[in-house]
Amino acid sequence: MADLSKVRNIGISAHIDSGKTTLSERILFYTGKIHAIHEVRGKDGVGAKMDSMDLEREKGITIQSAATYCTWGEYNINLIDTPGHVDFTVEVERALRVLDGAVLVLCSVAGVQSQSITVDRQMRRYSVPRVAFINKCDRSGANPDRVAAQLQEKLAHTPAFVTYPIGLEDKLEGVIDLVNMEAQYFDGEGGSDVRKAPIPADMMDKANELRHKLIETAADFDDTLMEKFLGDEPVGAEELSRAIRVGTLSMKMTPVFCGSAYKNKGVQTLLDGVGTFLPSPMDIKNEALDQDNNEQKMVLDSDPTKPLVMLAFKLEDGRYGQLTYMRIYQGTIKKGDSIINIANGKKVKVPRLVRMHSNDMHEIDEASAGDIVAMFGVDCASGDTFTDGNVRYTMTSMFVPEPVIELAVSPKDKAGQVNFSKALNRFTKEDPTFRVMRDEESGETIIKGMGELHLDIYIERIKREYNTEVIVGRPKVAFRETITQRSEFNYTHKKQTGGSGQFGRVGGFIEPLPPDAIENYEFVDDIVGGVIPREYIPACDKGFRESVTEGSLIGQPVVRVRVTINDGATHPVDSSEMAFKTASIMAFREAYMAAKPTILEPIMKLEVSVPEEFQGTVIGQINQRRGVIMGTDSDAGYVTVDSEVPLSEMFGYSTDLRSVTQGKGEFSMEFKKYQPVPRNIQDEMVKEHQKKRAEGK
């Protein structure tokens, strides 16, 4: 049984292109998990171990979070490499939900970027303590001091250098370890031999200044250290490390490491820091809700002897069926054990238990509290809690953002229908932000997601993994029609053929319903004196109801209409239900065009968050899209613009926003209301509809 205090469950997260996956590769190399280093966009065509999907290797980005485990000295490390792209935000959410600590990777040139702000917000949401690694110190323009200042300004951290680079850009030689006050150089193949030496004389002043600052920051968390600091007494490495750890676990201090993963410098020192400063499962307070006791909060102990509690946080369709990633919070699980899914009460047997090393599996017989494992044959959804049946606890699930974009999709040929459905079922199970619905009006399958790249990747995966070509349509906007004034009708339907004819007359008016009406159609029967016999009234209602399913302007449903009938006439022989239904349909058409009909379009509430320097450009962009600015709000160098914009103008917006904000802009969008389209656009739409109908005939 592993010593729990030596277990570290950590995630590596950052803005896109900060070097997360390269850092994961180096960690695996130095801990002996892989025996050769491959680059993310390597010339050898192998690609990084943690980017196991072909698509990831081609695009040079991480799409799915990959899990692995390794040992460093006396520490057992479970590691998850997460995507940096805003479209795959749920992968970061689910990883941080089950991790105890994290490494926030920052580029020494670009510093704190928009996605760094997002992942930092996610770390706070799940109270995940972190250390920062300022990567790419070998690049031209590298400036770790500026990045540390940004950590303080933009993310409100209290950063303190624990290591500092010796030389920058192409002169990067190694790092200074400020806790032990020594220089570290990384020699040998892949920088695997760490050579310790005295700090270069020309850097001694800088090192003393930084160590003084480090002690000052850490002294807030240790009274003895504070006394020594105030009395200017020497401080030992061990007591300094202890205070830094307390500060890190309380999330009130962020130890900052420097280096270059690509140039193999500073990674081993970071690994030492992961062991020394980040929490073990025993340092983290995990809570569950007791379903047998009115959802009372229970604190879980990282104790292998207590009843089993674990959370399924990620699903993948593996070679042997569904692979479920589990984080064990309490208790022990063995191969062959039975576990219960608290969500549906189903009992499942665990046929295989594995530890994941990216896409390779290593069989194990048992796992206990603090471990991250995967198992086959367990059918469940992301976020389900499992126990051994002795307790009925549920863990709180993760935050899932709402999708913001949708596309109509269909398989290219009928033969691909089965695989197409299989793919969509699998992806919705794996990814809570990917939704599928059927549009009843058009009969199309609509997929929804977090952004254009998000949906593009899934369409590409259907082609590759399911060998099915997909037709992608431009998403349709659900327009509506309504009337703007009262209009009367008096229509007589008369048809004389051989035998009995058809006769029915209906009189009355149509008028708009108030905007807050719950129903979209209302029928009022004001017939007196039996001018229309009672048995024909439902047929009139049926005729009007049928009429509102398709308006005369552009063939869309008519909403917010009240129809009142107050007059009519009947024939003793020729009147029938059919005659009155037809009379009602024709009467509605007659009155509709006189009631000044208009087209309604869906209006979205749009919230855009961008650095202040892009405020003018973004507002200009919203105005171009017929948007109305409702208000702006500034905070910490970022501005949030609230507006209302027609959905039909929002296609391609995420790409446009990223291009004008250097990828730093983020937006969220939700349905707000329906409102009339401008007259010139309405005229164009009506013309277009008439043209289509003429062509269709």
pLDDT in tens, 432-455: 778 888 876 567 788 887 666 678
Query: What's the pLDDT at 500?
Result: 72
Strand-pair partners of 474: none
- Between CA 472 and CA 411 the distance in angstroms is 9
pLDDT tens for 348-385 read 888 888 887 656 677 888 888 888 888 877 877 777 88
Q: Please, which pLDDT band fits residue 387 given cuts at 50, 70 and 90?
A: confident
- Between CA 48 and CA 33 the distance in angstroms is 13
Q: Is the pLDDT of residue 91 over 70?
A: no
Q: Is the pLDDT of residue 696 over 80?
A: no
Query: What's the pLDDT at 334?
Result: 87
Q: At what angle do helices 20-30 and 267-277 cross, to 10 degrees?
A: 90
Query: What's the pLDDT at 691?
Result: 86
Query: Please, what is the average pLDDT of the chain?
Result: 82
Say if CB 57 and CB 257 are below 8 A apart. no
Q: Is the pLDDT of residue 40 over 50?
A: no
Query: What's the pLDDT at 249?
Result: 92
- φ, ψ at 344 (rounded to 5°): -125, 0
Query: What's the pLDDT at 540?
Result: 94
- Between CA 659 and CA 617 the distance in angstroms is 11
Q: Is the pLDDT of residue 315 over 80?
A: no
Residue with tokens 């760094």: 116
pLDDT tens for 106-137 read 888 877 765 677 778 778 878 889 999 998 88
Mean pLDDT of the region 527-549:
91
Which of 52-66, 114-128, 184-198, 271-285 has the lowest average pLDDT? 52-66
3-class state of residue 665 by DSSP: coil
512 or 12, greater pLDDT? 512
Q: Is the pLDDT of residue 207 over 80?
A: yes
604: closest CA among 506, 671, 683? 671
- Between CA 688 and CA 679 the distance in angstroms is 14
Which of 31-35, 388-392, 490-494, 545-549 has the lowest average pLDDT? 31-35
Say if CB 506 and CB 584 are below 8 A apart. yes
What percent of the chain is modeled with pLDDT above 90?
27
Which of 9-18, 32-41, 391-400 has the lowest average pLDDT? 32-41
pTM value > 0.75: no
Query: What's the pLDDT at 335?
Result: 84
